Structure 1
Amino acid sequence: MPVNRYLRTVPCTIIEKSPRIARKASITRVTDVIGTMMSPFFGFLTRSFYIKMILVMLAVSLIPLIVLSYISVTVSSSTVESQVNRLNAQLVNQVVDRIELTMSRFRELSEQYSRISSIQSALVSPSSQYYEEVVRKKDLIAVLSTASAVIGNVEGLQVYSAATDEVLSSDEAPSTLEGSKFRPLIEEFLSKCGSSLFLDKSTHPNVPILQNSTYYIARIPFDTFEDLRGVLLISMNNTQFQRQIENIQLGSLGSVSLLTPSGVTIATTSKLERSRDDARTRSILSRWAELGKPNQLEMGTSIVSVKQTKTFDSWIVISEIPSQELTRSAEIIRRTVTYFLIALVTIGGLSVIGFGYQLYRPLQAVKRQVDAIKKGNFEARVTHFAPNEIGDLGRMLNTMAVRIQELLSEQQESEDMKRKLEIRALQSQINPHFMYNTLNTIRMFAMLKDYDNINTLMGKFVSLLRYSMENYDQHVQLQQEIEYVQDYIALLNMRYKYQTQLHAEIEAPLERMSIPKLGLQPLIENAVFHGILPKKMAEGHIYLRVYSHESAEPAAVIIEVEDNGVGLDEEQLEKLRIHLQQEQIGDNIGLKNVWLRMKLMFGKEAQVQLSAVASGGLLIRFMLPADTVRLKEGPHG
């Protein structure tokens, strides 16, 4: 039995333990696979600066941004409120300054016109002559109308004559004081016995003309020790004051009001009903008086600035900004600052994670290598290679520097060969053209059987061919080119009855400067055939000037070719300038060819200018950078 039991229990034990062993084996295999996959990653963490620099840069960059965000959001409300208070006070001061300026102008105008002799002389006793009386009144009304037009923004001018008891106006027909609408104002002024009086709608609520206008009344003459002749009234419509404040924007609920000392509204930007607005201004003035008339006060949820003018009118300016406007502005600022700083935190975090590894010490060596390459020093090499990505970058930079150096050398050789080929191609266009013109001249003398001239011409022609067709050097001294041009002109003078004189003014030592061979001959040929010969002068002149222009920026060497021929008009000059700007060489062998060769030799900074000469003819000026000009040694050096 024990044996049987043993035999029966063994298979059961094996069946029960096999799944556990399998699971342990599977876990081991998974762990091994994970370890194999994560080993490079942990190796990277152990040898690289990346994680350490990420933690440091996050602490250095993101924490200050978070603190700044909190501070900005916290202080935005108080900052907005203080700024609004300051701006509100400035606004009230500006409006008060405008009102005071207007009132001062009222007083100055009244005093000025009450002293005018033409007005005073018109206020005399009625004349027995009806015609004289009419003329006197007409002249006075004309003076008032002219004054009203000159002043500009007043409603009108009126004069009361004490002698005739009439009121004369700039815009109304004359009337007696009894029937005039200005009677209450004039009678009150006369009862005061002063030099001037200011009246607005608060002084006489029942006088209709004071409900829409403000009046300044002055005595005529102004000085009280003189006998009264009359009274001058200057009126301004209250809409003038409304225009001074109507463009002030304080939000949808804010307002600016202009009040009399008694609280009557002269002008306002409030959108409330008149009764509600009057109640609002009365409560503000009452609170303002209780607090001792401060410049600013709080009324409920509003910020109010109040100021009273110091002129005779003593008007009051009230500016009110409800807290809803402040809250709205503060909320916009808080939202904007929050979004902006969240974006900065996000961008900063991504930047730290993406580029933090670049701050490792070997990066300084790579930076020096990059700076050297940027400055054109491709001999510099990275000598210290760290066992990380920066080290690999340093090796690649060394390889790149070597390759760039090789490519630059190959490119330089290619550019030199290309320049030589282009110069030869450009020169090859000139030689056949020149030979054709010269042989045609020889043919003409042969037809005339002028053997002496043929002999002379052939000698010069051979000399010219030797110079123009030698290819061992594409650049020659300026003096050699001038001698060649002189021989060329001598040939032309033998051919034509019109003579051409060449005047050369060369600054030393520029006679040895290097220029393209046959660089001047096409210019001289154009000057002769297109300028001098068509003018049919007995003698033409060509001026060749070469000099340095040190005061230019940068310094330049100037080559000028000027003739006294027929010249070109401005339209033709503009077409020629456009033609010179085109890069295509074409088949032309004149100025365009010379200009292309000059640019090939002296670089893209070289310039050409064409201008008409005042006395007739054409001036061609080449401006060559001084640092590209070389002095050439040769038979003349």
Structure 2
Amino acid sequence: MTFNINQLIRKIKIQNRLLISFAVLSLLPMLIIGIFSYYISSDAIRTKISTASIQLMYQVSENIVNELIKLENDSVDIAFSDLVQQIMGGFNTMSEWEKNVAQIKIQEMLAKRFSFFHSVSDVLVYTRNKEKVIAYGDISFKFNLKSDYLNELFEETIIKNGVPVWTIQNQDNEELARNTSSRFSNYGEAGILLSRSFKSFEGLPIGYMIMRIDVKYIFNKFRDITLGAGSHIFIVNGKGTVISSQNPQHKVATPYPDDTLIDELKQNRVTETYSFNTTIAGKRHLIAYTYIPRADWYVVSTIPFSYLDHESVKISFYILVLGISCFVLALLLSYYVSKSISSPLKCLIDSMNNVKLGNLVVQIDDRSSDELGKVTTNFNQMVSELQYLIDEVKMKEKLKRLAELKSLQAQINPHFLSNSLNTVRWLANVQKANNISNLITSLISLLHGCMGKGSELISIREEIEYVKNYLNIMAYRYYDKFMVHFEIEEDILDCHILKFALQPIVENCLLHGIEPMEGQGLIIIKGYRVQNELKITITDNGVGMDEHTLNSLLQQTTTINQSRFSGIGIRNVDERIKLYFGEKFGLSIHCVPNLFTTVEITIPTAGGEDDVKDAEGAHS
């Protein structure tokens, strides 16, 4: 089966194969990712909004419950106040004048309680025989409930036996009077009622109480809360009557238009499921609610799926448009690219592999004028140039090493040698040859170092000896003009440095620093290790240099100064160090005129013969 598929595929051109496989492999992941992203994002958004909605409904219900408890406590305080208990106990035996006086006293008492609490519009107290006492309210716009509705409230409060009953009434439950319209404009067409029966201190039933609360008082607890476009928060009781709602289509004190939702609320309350999906007016909604047992109220939020899925649909649309655009573009690019790349690219890769193996005579025969053709031409030129440069570098390096060796072997300045020999002769004549041996010994050591053959790297110990021999000679020339102090760490003495790297710097200290100064000078030579690097500093307290002289010092040419011992400038030392050890090593100079001059040499640690051989091998 595999053989047949391979044979079938091999019958299709490479370009077509690439296009078909690319189309399949790019389209399928795009579809899978798009669908997966849509469902995952939708589910995540719904879950988060559902959780947030439940928490928000819980907070709203907590706020409402706190207010209901305050109102219930107020009703208890009123019912069991001494004044109300006294009046209700003897109301049947009072005259009309006494009843009016009692009513005024109750009104005065409750006016102090509710005058600043505008949500309570009316408080009615009824005797056991259902005689009404207006305990609080506007006398000009009396609150009168219809007898049938009032009797239903009394019967329900009797059944509850003192437990508050929360209901809602509207204008259909009130007795209409001349000033009814004015009352509705001032206190609203509907009101929330707290009804309860109460007893005497002896435990005998003595009356009923009805408190009317403005519906806006409860509505204000969630009026400004929004859960998204098209969402609403409302409160219904267990009978399906709307208590309060953000939706103007849900009229307060009327049945909620969708009985199915009320039934689902009751069913989910039994299973303690506080979030579910349902259909309202033909549209899917997410429902989140909480239940207030003391009032038999449901605080409900409805969020349409159109809002929940809005972001997911937008994301999916963007993914689809972007995916299709990229897919079409990729197909077009792959069509043109696949046909022209594979053959010349393979040829170029094969040639590169040959170059990697060291075959620098590779040439590609490709006369195309496109980028790959230019790359091939440049590759051919690069290989030829690389071969030429390698040969040239080898030749120049060989010549440079030979020139440096000859320079070291012939770096004694004849003028200096003449002066030194004259000094020897003068000392022989004056001192009868007592100090000639010391001077000549130092001179011979320097001559051997300059003209000797072998490695250009020597130990720091040997380099210090060359410096001491040079200073011994200079001590006779500059009698008591300078002192030298060495501070070289013992563990770096066997590390290696370029031959005659320190002598030119010490000579520079004498000529430019100490010789022009008045009095005796001091040279301090320190050597120490810093991690994998060696630091050697040469400091003098001479006259120093200005900025121009300091800059020109490192820019000296290799022209030999006839007044110097070796003719090797400080710049030459810096270039030799960089040549051997790399650009990050070399010299740095710090100078404060008439105070000090410090030259710091930085080289890598090279402690053994293997390191010396490696350094020399790298420049052979």
Normalising to structure 1: TM-score of the pair?
0.45
Structure with larger Rg? 2
- Normalised TM-score (structure 2): 0.46
